[in-house]
């Protein structure tokens, strides 16, 4: 499961910085191994220490002994194994599990599929793609999200609010350049 992106090397002993996708996540404090992957290679590492330092986590990895080894992984994606994370309660969900979920209104009408998400500092924001390819952003808050059916992989949302968000996007896309 993706948890963040590797930044530059930290210190001289091979520590790396990882910027989490979800700033509130404590996943890196709970695991004993990570996987880094970039366009050319992927490799698992044994986590010996994880310290949160502001916007990033400083990770000490057993297999990286110096700054040059750590620098090799700058800009790689950091993953953890789902089995290493604690079990969730019925009311919780990992942000990564939202990707690919169908959005439906309360009547069961399909609105699109979650294609991305990001944290804007106030809440998680979901990006969903409609059938015609339009990308729409909605906050992952109770006002928009009615319930999550993890088993069926469906996100039930307030259809009217989502349709209003879609209308705003379509209006902005169709507006003449310079008037947006």
Q: What is the pLDDT of residues 8-22, one digit of tens each?
A: 998 888 899 999 988
Does 107 score more than 70 pLDDT?
yes
135 and 157 assigned to the same domain: yes
Average pLDDT score over residue span 100-109? 93
Asked whether residue 109 falls in the same domain as residue 152, the answer is yes
* Beta-sheet strands, E only, within 2-152: 2-10, 15-20, 33-37, 42-53, 56-61, 77-79, 102-104, 110-119, 124-129, 135-139, 145-149
Mean pLDDT of 148-170: 88
pLDDT value of position 176: 65
Give the domain range for residue 34. Answer: 2-84
Tell me which of 61, 84, 107 is where a domain ends: 84
- Average per-residue pLDDT for the chain: 89
State if pTM tops 0.75.
no
pLDDT tens-place string over residues 68-92: 999 999 999 999 998 998 888 877 8
């Amino acid at each position: 499961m993706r948890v963040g992106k590797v930044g530059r090397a930290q210190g001289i002993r091979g520590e790396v910085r990882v910027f989490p996708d979800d700033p509130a996540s404590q996943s890196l404090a709970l695991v004993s191994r990570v996987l880094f992957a970039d366009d050319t290679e992927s490799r698992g590492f044994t986590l010996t220490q994880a310290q949160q330092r502001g916007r990033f986590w400083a990770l000490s990895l057993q297999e990286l002994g110096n700054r040059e080894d750590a620098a090799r992984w700058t800009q790689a994606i950091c993953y953890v194994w789902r089995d290493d994370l604690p079990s969730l309660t019925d009311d919780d969900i990992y942000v990564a599990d939202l990707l690919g979920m169908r959005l439906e209104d309360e009547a069961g009408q399909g609105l699109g599929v979650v294609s991305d998400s990001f944290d804007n500092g106030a809440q998680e924001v979901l990006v969903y793609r409609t059938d015609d390819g339009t990308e729409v952003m909605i906050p992952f808050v109770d006002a928009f999200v009615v319930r999550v059916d993890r088993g069926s992989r469906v996100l039930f949302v307030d259809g009217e609010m989502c349709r209003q968000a879609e209308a705003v996007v379509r209006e902005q896309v169709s507006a003449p350049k310079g008037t947006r």
